Structure 1
Amino acid sequence: MSISPDDTPAPDTPTPRRGRNAGLWLLVLVLLAIGSYAAWRRWHAREQDDAVAMRQQIDALSERLNAMRTEQRSHARRLQQADSLNRVLRDELDGITQRAALLEASVEKLADPDRHGAQALRLDETELLLTLGDQRLRIAGDLDGARRAYALAAGVLEGIDDPAYLSLRQTLLQERTALDALGADPKVKAIAQLDVFAQDVTAPVEREVAAQTSLAPWWRRAFGNLIQVQPTDRAVAVQAADRAAALAGLQLEISLARAAAERRDVAGYREALRRAGVWLHRLAPGPAVLARQRAQLQTLAALPLSPAVPTLGSTLQQLRQMRAR
């Protein structure tokens, strides 16, 4: 098969256009790269601006937060001061309330008809005299002074005509009867009996010793300084010096007991009498005399030194209750 010259392919004529297209695409790519770079730079600059603005906002928020914290602390201090002021005001209000209550009570007492006139003065005087009598008997043991104070109180109370105080006069009469029934002061009785015992014990000692010496057999009078006969259960002072020392000790203990009785010191009084009984063991010549003297000591130790009145102070308590009502 032969090929004619007309059948040969014609050369490609659009080659220049294909080169222009490639350059155009290259230009587009370059423009796109430049645009992308410019857009990236713009975006990056915006991001930096946003970061700066965000940082500024954070700093502003931090400053504002610090200011709010400072303001909060200031408010807390003000609240604390206000709380303290409220507490002080509350205390002052309580004090004012208490003073108002006291004033109201004072006004009520002043408005009480029993607080006016001669009756109020007589009641005050009666209460004062009853208090004096009660204290004189309880503290000083002055029975006569208490009787005088109660007698004066009874005289003052008789001048009140109000029948509401009739039971008070009866109570005062019973209390005065109990005081009169006591007789002498128990302390005076105890001291008097103690003096009688001291005279009974210390005075006859030397006479008994002299009598026993004169009535002693010849062998005791001859050998008394060499031989001593004593009971086995106690040591009796036989020599004159020993008996003088024992007698001085007994007198000293009796004096201490008398001083304790003056003070109404029951414990000291009984302890002094107990020590006096120890000296009696050395002075008593015989068991019968010793038993009698010890019984006397026990009787003395059992004596009361203060008056005992169970109803003491009942009139004063009743008067105060009536005035309180």
Structure 2
Amino acid sequence: MSASDSDHETSAPTPAAPASAPAPDASKKRERKPRRGQGLAGLALVLALIALLAAAYGGWRVWRLQQGGAEDTRALSTVQTQLKSLGDKLNALDQSGRQLQQQTQAAQQQGQSLSGQVQSLNERSRSLENAVAGLTARAQSGHDAVRLDEAAMLLRMADERFTLFHDADGAMHAYAMANRVMAEVEDPAYAAVRQSIDRERQALAATHPGQRQSDLDTLARLRGQVDTLPLKPLDAPVEQTGNGFWARVKHAFAGLVQVQRDDGVTPAQRRLAQTLTALDLAQAQAALLAWDPDGYRSALTQADQRLQRDFDGHAVAVRTLRAQLAELRGRTASPAPELGAALSELNNLRAVHGAAMPAPATTSDKGVQR
């Protein structure tokens, strides 16, 4: 409600009291006049209270409206201030957005430039990687070439030591060294060569080189003992049989009279028997060195027959030597192992790899120089 409405309410005319009607007579007029005055007074009081309440309500409404208007004014002022601040912030954000847009454009241009540089660096990096890969391949190839040369030399030396000097122990040692050298080769294509080397080394080990060397030493020692062995006597010794008179006479004259047989065996021929026996033992040595099992057994058999025929079978030295020959004949001589397959396989693989290897490229070197 506005102030004008309240004023209108407060200024509204109060209803006029009704005019008193003329009394017919004075007594009735005196009786009704007090009652009518009291009613008017009460009505006027009620109207006054209503008017007062209306005025109070109007004043209160006016005061509320004034308070509400002040608050609205302050709120409006605050809103205007905030709007102004927001406008300033929007202007600042607009300026910042334009600056950011400019910076973004500059960053895009710089990014394009950096992208070109990165692409160029990638190309150079690939060129460097190709160059390093080429150098690594060359270094690996050189390393493998040196190791393969060393392994081939060791295998050739093992073959020559076994073929020329019959040195199985030395050949086995050379094969072991070649196997260690081949283990350092990084190319997996040469793994089969190591298997061949191991097979040939096992074949050499199956010949029991230690036992062979012991047999050779035994034969050499027996050859030196042949000259000291007693030969078989031409006549058997006279055995004294009985203790009679004639036995004692025969034994007494046995030292004075000796009867010898002339069977054609001279001292030179007896010496020849010793030499031939030594030659039989030397032939057994040669057959053992030459990996000839049949010749080895034949030579030992012939030496034993000479000992039985030409030497004193009752002598301890002769019986001991024949027992040692029998022990040597009882051991089976191993055939010669076949060597050289590993070396041939290594040479063939190197020839194949050398033919398949491409020529070194020069693009990587140009990439490095660039």
TM-score category of the 2 structures, normalised to the smaller one: 0.3 to 0.5
TM-score, structure 1 as length reference:
0.44
Larger Rg: 2
